[in-house]
Amino acid sequence: MSYEFCTTDAKDHILTVTINRPERMNALHPPANLELGEVFDAFDADPELWVAIITGAGDRAFSAGNDLRYQAEGGKRGPMPLGFGGLTSRFNMSKPVIAAVNGVAMGGGFEIALACDIILASKTARFALPEPKVGLAALAGGLHRLPRQIGTKAAMGMILTGRHVPAEEGLQLGFVNEVTEPEALMDRARAWAAMICECAPLSIRASKEVAYNGLSHASIEAAMAATYPGVKAMVESQDFIEGPKAFAEKRPPNWKGC
């Protein structure tokens, strides 16, 4: 499909989504957020797509977050049922998403990255939740996700100052998985996605569901005793048979995703 505020490319079970508002440093206004919500709805519903990568057009910005200029020019805010980038308020998608951060990831842009499962960052990437500097707060999940991902004290050091954190520090703090040269970023993102695609799709989805939903339980014992629909789907799938069979026959598995 053709989109107004992003581009998409699907190949080898991988969907690449590029936020395409470089003239606004890929900042997002309500129409763009709604469009990205539609993109990820379609991704989630397509059995042939197993992993998504999200990045920004150009080399300056992944996303500068909320398009404040749009608001200043009289643009209406409107509803964002699935949050920034169609991701920050999406809690039921078990397919993995990789953020390939190619520059500035500020405010809602950082919140999009935090809502992804893996963050790869160009050496030029910068991260921040600077909303307090303009009288706002990072209410699209950043104030909840960042402390859970890097610990309270490290997170509050970013949240209460709004300071910019370079990619290497993000790696040290633990919210970045890998830092790359700018020209290698998308190759590395595709390599990570390809590694995920080597695994059984339903096993990946079950693992993501258990890892995230298990955090809502007070103890490991309770988390392990809980019931997860993704695990049931995995156990009842053709791939649950194919995996051990391929191993015994010393051949690559032929995953069906069902």
Q: Which residues are catalytic?
A: 111, 131
What percent helix, strand, coil does the chain show, rounded to 5? 45, 15, 40
**Tokens (6 digits) for 152:** 């309270």
Q: Where does residue 101 rank: exposed (0-12), middle (13-18), buried (19+ CB within 10 A)?
A: buried
Q: What is d(CA 214, CA 167) in angstroms, rounded to the nearest whole number?
A: 29
CB 166 within 8 A of CB 121: no
Q: What is d(CA 241, CA 248) in angstroms, rounded to the nearest whole number?
A: 11
Helix (H, G, I), strand (E, B) or coil at 87: coil
CB 21 within 8 A of CB 35: no
Characterise 107 by phi-psi region: left (phi > 0), alpha (psi -120 to 50), beta (else): left
Go through 110-129 and write b for each residue having 16 or more CB atoms within 10 A of its CB, e for each that does not.
Answer: bbbbbbbbbbbbbebbbbbb
**Tokens (6 digits) for 226:** 């809980």
